[in-house]
């Protein structure tokens, strides 16, 4: 399933935009994009595991 990949991409976009709007440098933007990507990717992974377990007999 593509839920964790979607979470990674969404987190990277959200983190990068948030750091850019707050006036961060290029390294700040990269760091916050990575942090948010890891956080949302992990949350999306647990959501995918929960969905997968709920549909198994």
Position 57 pLDDT exceeds 90: no
Asked whether the beta carbons of 34 and 15 are under 8 A apart, the reply is yes
Query: Measured between alpha carbons, how far is 14 from 31 in angstroms, rounded to an integer?
Result: 12
CB 11 within 8 A of CB 34: no
Q: 1-56: per-residue pLDDT in tens?
A: 789 999 999 999 999 999 999 999 999 999 999 999 999 999 999 999 999 888 87
d(CA 49, CA 8): 16
Task: Look up the pTM and report it.
Answer: 0.86
Q: What is the pLDDT of residue 50?
A: 92
Q: Read off the DSSP letter of residue 1.
A: -
């Amino acid at each position: 399933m593509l839920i964790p990949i979607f979470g990674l991409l969404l987190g990277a976009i959200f983190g990068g935009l948030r750091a850019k709007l707050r006036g961060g440098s290029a390294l700040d933007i990269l760091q916050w994009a990575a942090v948010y990507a890891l956080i949302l990717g992990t949350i999306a992974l647990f959501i995918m595991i929960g969905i997968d377990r709920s549909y198994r007999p």
